[in-house]
Amino acid sequence: MESLDRETAKKLYEQYRKHRDGIRNKPEMASICLICGSVHIIPREGNNRMLTCRDCGFSFYRYRCPACGKTIDGRDPKNPPCRGCGLRFCTCGACGCATGGVQ
């Protein structure tokens, strides 16, 4: 992905910090930290479903739903955590649990 220019990143940061719904559908949000606004986001070592902010160390889930292929983002309120597996629910209802997961 192209790296974001600072203005765009700042705008998205301001916007989604207040309205978290929709983060999952915004590809640019994969490279913006919602805690500190940094665009230095790298894959988290040892966990291919998480990303980490290189500046503040905050980690968040961001991966494709294994069931439907949509993006899941742990910061989006529409992707709540699953108590069974610790992953996130997709808007399609799947979470990645072996059991399918019950919310």
Which residue, among 97, 94, 62, 59, has the nearest Cα to 76 in the 3D structure?
Answer: 62
Binding pattern to Zn ion, positions 21-40, x when CB under 5 A? ------------x-xx-x--
The minimum distance between CB 7 and Zn ion, in angstroms, equals: 18
CB 24 within 8 A of CB 72: yes
When asked if residue 41 is in the footprint of Zn ion (CB under 5 A), the reply is no
The minimum distance between CB 38 and Zn ion, in angstroms, equals: 4
Q: Give the nearer residue to Zn ion in terms of CB position, either 23 or 95.
A: 95
Give the per-residue SS3 of 28-66.
HHHHCCCCCCCCCEEECCCCCCEEEECCCCCEEEEEECC
Q: Give the nearer residue to Zn ion in terms of CB position, either 19 or 57.
A: 57
Site for Zn ion in 56-95 (CB under 5 A): 56, 58, 65, 67-68, 70, 82, 84-85, 90, 92, 94-95
Q: Which residue has the tokens 């629910």?
A: 89
